[in-house]
């Protein structure tokens, strides 16, 4: 009963943690050293918020696949690291966060240019974090892929994640 009530009177303005729990430099180093396969991609942390991140994957010749487009595993690796960074921006450097599942939908065939990943955390529970990642070809406003994923994380204090910037703001 009180659960229902509190849901109804829920805070209109959840306050996200104001500053990320890691710096961009710390995160870039962790990616480069902790996960060499993707670390060697040369990924740059463009911006880092609390629960949000933007990464840039420069194009490399060996990302090509038949059709002259970027190979799926490169995009998957980028998305995986982006969600990892978005989660760590909320809970700090916890190397043992591990992916438990990930779903990738390829929406367009990207040309051979840099890929931008924008990730945000949609839920940070006690043991699981869940978020989504949009991938763009640099300079193009339409996404080339959409990814969702779950990370298993060590138990930690609760963090509220605001998704209000997400709401459909009506029409018709």
Interaction residues for its own copies, span 87-116 (CB under 8 A)? 95-96, 98-113
Q: Do residues 122 and 141 lie in contact, with contact meaning Cβ atoms separated by under 8 Å?
A: no
Q: How far is CA 11 from the centre of its chain?
A: 25
Q: Do residues 102 and 147 lie in contact, with contact meaning Cβ atoms separated by under 8 Å?
A: yes
Residue 126: CB minimum distance to its own copies, A = 11
In this structure, how many other beta carbons lie within 10 angstroms of the beta carbon of residue 27? 24
Residues 131 to 160: which contact its own copies by CB under 8 A?
132, 134, 137-143, 146, 148, 150, 160
Does 21 interact with its own copies (rule: CB under 8 A)?
no
- Tokens in use for 107? 């929406």
Handedness of CA 69, 73, 76, 82 (dihedral sign): negative
Q: How many chain residues are in contact with its own copies, going by CB under 8 A?
A: 92
Residues 38 to 97: which contact its own copies by CB under 8 A?
38, 40, 46-50, 52-54, 61-67, 69, 71-74, 76-77, 80, 95-96
Residue 65: CB minimum distance to its own copies, A = 5
Q: Do residues 49 and 17 lie in contact, with contact meaning Cβ atoms separated by under 8 Å?
A: no
Alpha helices for the chain (secondary structure H): 2-8, 24-34, 36-39, 72-91
Gyration radius from the chain CA atoms? 17
């Amino acid at each position: 009963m009180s659960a229902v009530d509190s849901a109804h009177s829920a805070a209109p303005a959840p306050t996200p943690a104001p500053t990320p729990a890691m710096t961009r430099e710390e995160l870039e180093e962790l990616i480069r050293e902790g996960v060499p396969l993707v670390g060697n991609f040369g990924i740059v942390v463009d911006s880092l918020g609390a629960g949000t991140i933007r990464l840039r994957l420069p194009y490399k010749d060996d990302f090509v696949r038949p059709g002259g487009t970027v190979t799926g595993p490169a995009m998957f690796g980028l998305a995986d690291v982006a969600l990892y960074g978005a989660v760590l921006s909320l809970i700090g450097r916890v190397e043992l966060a591990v992916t438990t599942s990930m779903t990738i939908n390829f929406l367009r065939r990207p040309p051979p240019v840099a890929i931008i990943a924008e990730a945000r955390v949609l839920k940070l529970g006690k043991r699981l974090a869940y978020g989504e990642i949009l991938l763009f070809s640099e300079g193009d406003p339409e996404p080339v892929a959409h990814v969702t994923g779950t990370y298993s994380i060590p138990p930690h204090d609760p963090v509220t994640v605001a998704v209000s910037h997400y709401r459909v703001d009506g029409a018709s």
